[in-house]
Amino acid sequence: MRPPIVEEGNAMRVKFGDCLIELVQGDITLQQVDAIVNAANSQLAGGGGVDGAIHRAAGPSVMEETDRRYPEGCPTGSAVASAAGHLPAKYIFHAVGPVWRGGTSGEPGHLRGACQRCLELAVEHECESIAFPAISTGVYGYPMDLAAQQSLECVRDFLQTHQQPKLVRFVLFSGGAFGAFARVLESMTDSH
């Protein structure tokens, strides 16, 4: 049976069992969810893009915590958790996506691994809701449509197996990113 699709403005929701995948256009630092995902680097050193925005909004306690708990950083294709400082969320999951090198250097597996580890962390930390940015699609150069395919497939497969977290939201910064994710999510509902 096709799951219901609800579209209103730049928002789209699709139910998978008891769980919801939601796409919105906006700023991830403003999301009222249990956990937000950061697109970090493997040194957890901070940087520009969404990483810079999250650390600025959360305050210095987050970097202090990641320096203390993860002095070795985090490997590409995985993620680590911290508290969320001044943000409305309870946790930040710092995910390290791959740098795009043409697609034959294991990039899809690494993007999926980072996404899946965040979902596992959400379950371990009893998060009912989690918000992702489009990991790797900025400085790391991953093509938006391919990133949307990997990320959404990862979430769909995880929800079908685990039935949690109840809400997985992708917060897309631009209309183009929103459109790319919406096309992939819509195509998934056809084969569901």
- Give every strand in the sheet of 129-132, ordered side by side: 5-7, 11-16, 19-25, 167-172, 129-132, 35-40, 91-96, 79-83
- Which of these segments, 65-73, 76-84, 107-115, 169-177, binds ligand AR6 (CB under 6 A)? 169-177
Q: For ligand AR6, give the closer residue by CB, 140 or 158.
A: 140
Indicate the residue among 139 and 167 with the shorter CB distance to ligand AR6.
139
Task: Please say which residue, 56 or 69, places its beta carbon nearer to ligand AR6.
Answer: 56
**Sign of the C-alpha dihedral, residues 175, 78, 126, 35?**
negative
Enumerate residues 6+ apart whose C-beta is below 8 A from 52: 46
**DSSP calls for 89-151:** SSEEEEEEPPPPSSS-SSHHHHHHHHHHHHHHHHHHTT-SEEEE--TTSSTT---HHHHHHHH
Residue of 19, 92, 135, 188 that binds ligand AR6 (CB under 6 A)? 135
Contact characters 39-58, ligand AR6, x per CB under 6 A: xxx----xxxxxx-x-----
Which residues are known catalytic residues?
A: 51
Residue 28 within binding range of ligand AR6, rule CB under 6 A: yes
Contact with ligand AR6 (CB under 6 A) among 3, 10, 27, 63: 27
Count residues binding ligand AR6 (CB under 6 A). 25
**Taking CB under 6 A as the criterion, which residues in 56-95 touch ligand AR6?**
none
Q: Smaller CB distance to ligand AR6: residue 137 or 164?
A: 137
- Kindly list the distances between the CA atom of residue 185 and the CA atoms of 35, 69, 154, in Å, as whole numbers in the listed order: 22, 36, 12
Provide, rounded to whole angstroms, the least separation between the CB of residue 164 and ligand AR6.
Answer: 23
Sign of CA dihedral 125, 44, 156, 160: negative
Binding site for ligand AR6 (CB under 6 A): 27-29, 39-41, 46-51, 53, 97, 133-140, 171, 173, 177
